Chain A
């Protein structure tokens, strides 16, 4: 269809869904990660109000990511999920806690509210960290023979996956802080600004660390970038050098615009920073959907299944993006002081 392999179209669509998930649910997980740093209960109410109408839609991109992987690339789904059994399960459990906490926090009385505040924050942190472990375990590759996972239950647990997890927690916190800059005013806005500045530095360090570590997970990655810890192959690296340069520039702009008290730019720059990291990752792993084991074509469902889904996705995705944008526009106003309860 359209002269392109269907499996490649679906690989791009699922990559897009995962990126939208990270950019959107990333900020509401990030707000949960920042909960412990809020001044008081009322400030936490403001923070939660800034994400309450949209979090459910944001999380749906994760369902599209998982369901889409199952439907479009069942062999990749079957190889990856058992390999990442424990971090996936941890993520699901964490998402349960923080998801119900949105409602439960307002229904609990004194101890109940305290407990669901902790559950919301702890669940957000654990969900972000386990997504980092999943990502780390994915990048470093899984042990697959004849399409089935043959490794051990703890294969995903390595210094590399821990580094990715820590970096992703910082990155989501950055998205959350930048979202709060966009959605709040007054004292919380000032606090969120200072969070953005610190988290921009922390996220930059995390990204740099993960990028360097990724070079050593497989010789094919090293070859693609032309970099090892002790040598640089300039002609190869020059073609890809814009990525780290743009990332550096974005970190600077992010820091500066938070300093200049701008409202919407920090979030947009944070998303751009994630996009650069995402493109860098795609460059490293191309053309694998299960790193170093399966390409999209090898993992894909039958062509008639992919075609049927595409006929659904072509009209539905623009509609979904349309009403999602409408809901965001509807709830675009700052969370105001009188709206929160006293």
Chain B
């Protein structure tokens, strides 16, 4: 494979957006979690909610900051690396990005200042309002970005203008394109689950180390409750999303499932090794008919395999197939952990279920893995198109030199590795310490949540040289 500007640009986009997506996936859920915690604190005045809020807001501040800076990159990369795409579709999905900035980014960024630094400066109700605005902002942002991304999967409501660029004929159809509603639901549930897994995992860890038992026990229950309700819902949402994908992107579904032949009783493969050269899936172990039943509701439904599509219209199969399997495996594990949690909760043993706590610690990153794997299977499955069926990825790239893209990719990798390692270190350090029973509110802007004084870390006196 030749490392030309196209391949390098694809790698760079995949790398930067893959890095970016894990932060919104976490902060969408965390912002809502914080709004719930603060609402409970205002209503019940139980210090446990206040302590939990002040603890998780520190982790939110760190994650949100990384999400912001990696997100700014995205708004420029469409132009630097995908200028032909930008010029082609700007009139159709450009307004969606504009609406995202106008309705979400400013809302989040402005009220974040009050959320992080205003605890002592504004009244409790206004502070709660600020938290809610940030939470709403994250959801609005998800709405617009999923609308734009879903339009690239299932483009509707557009036509070609005289100059060859695309124009919208109906913006309602552009925004609410066929896959948008279910993909938005699927993404928001994924974000909520990701947060639930992290909250439950971190709380289980502090329970195992016998720290802040009241706070950790409460947060654990909230995480488990979310998991038990949302994980099964997510399976159903994913199933619906798969049906829509099959209707509009059958080649993608065939790649996800590892189907080559068009036949009735398509199987659901548990394992297999797709081989694009031989046009088959080696060592396939599956349940016959289950695939047809899942997708079409009938074991005898005849569904298209990859051979029904010309080779140049097929997505990379191996990656789509395996990413999909990893996502589903994570989802099933979350359902199982939710059920397990409900059982120990019902038996009143949830605070002492050591084995369950260990399993939760292990599963803490499962949401991130599922989000990344799901995103890979959705976006790789969209190939070889950038706008499905309309614009090929190969025709969308900028006229830039391969050397320039290679250089920028190298620097993105280095910078993200540094920033990610440091951010992960600081977040894990906070999580290992756990919430305080006397969590202090930050006094002023010079003392952001998580600063040494606010967290009471002994290194407060540490000065740079």
Residue on A with the closest CB to B426?
A107
Chain A 44-79 interface 0/1 with B at a Cβ cutoff of 8 Å (1 = within): 111011101110110110111011111111110111
Cβ contacts under 8 Å, A80 to chain B: 79
Contact of A78 among B79, B97, B99, B404 (CB under 8 A): B79
Q: Are B429 and A68 in contact (CB under 8 A)?
A: no
Interface assignment of B103: CB less than 8 Å from any CB of chain A: yes
User: Counting CB contacts under 8 A, is B17 at the interface?
Assistant: no
- CB-defined contacts of B171 to chain A, threshold 8 Å: 304, 308
State in angstroms the CA–CA spacing of A335 and B453 once bound together: 17
C-alpha spacing A48/B448, complex, angstroms: 10
Provide the bound-state CA to CA distance between A106 and B113, in Å: 16
Tell me if A97 and B98 are in contact (CB < 8 A): no
Across the interface, which residues of B come within 8 angstroms of A97, CB to CB? 415, 419
Q: Are B399 and A82 in contact (CB under 8 A)?
A: yes
Given contacts A52-B448, A103-B62, A340-B446, contact A70 B110 (CB under 8 A): no
The distance in angstroms between the C-alpha atoms of A92 and B462, with both chains bound, is 31
Is B310 among interface residues, defined by CB-CB distance under 8 A?
Answer: no
Residue from the list B78, B114, B405, B447 in contact with A339, Cβ < 8 A: B447
A199 vs chain B, min Cβ distance (A): 24
A317 CB contacts on chain B under 8 angstroms: 102
Interface size range on A against B: 35 or more
Query: Looking at chain B's contact residues, is the secondary structure mostly helix, strand, loop, or mixed?
Result: helix
Given A59-B72, A104-B426, does the pair A153, B446 have CB atoms closer than 8 Å? no
User: Are B464 and A339 in touch, CB under 8 angstroms?
Assistant: no
A149 at the interface (CB under 8 A from B): yes
Residues 107-158 of A contacting B (Cβ, < 8 Å)? 107-110, 112-114, 116-117, 147-150, 152-153
Q: Which of B69-98 contact A (CB under 8 A)?
A: 69-73, 75-76, 78-81, 83-84, 86-92, 94-95, 97-98
* Stretch in contact with the other chain, from A213-221, A228-236, A239-247, A319-327: A319-327
18 contacts between A and B (CB under 8 A): A52-B117, A53-B117, A66-B79, A67-B94, A67-B100, A68-B101, A70-B75, A77-B87, A81-B78, A89-B80, A96-B69, A96-B73, A100-B419, A108-B426, A148-B399, A323-B107, A327-B111, A341-B446
Contact residues of A with B, CB < 8 Å?
40-42, 44-46, 48-50, 52-54, 56-57, 59-60, 62-64, 66-75, 77-82, 84-86, 88-89, 92-93, 95-97, 99-100, 102-104, 106-110, 112-114, 116-117, 147-150, 152-153, 301-302, 304-305, 308-309, 312-313, 316-317, 320, 323-324, 327, 330-331, 335-336, 339-342
Told that A74-B165, A78-B398, A302-B168 touch, could you supply 12 new A-B pairs with CB distance under 8 A?
A52-B448, A53-B114, A64-B98, A70-B78, A74-B90, A82-B79, A89-B411, A96-B416, A106-B452, A323-B110, A330-B113, A335-B446
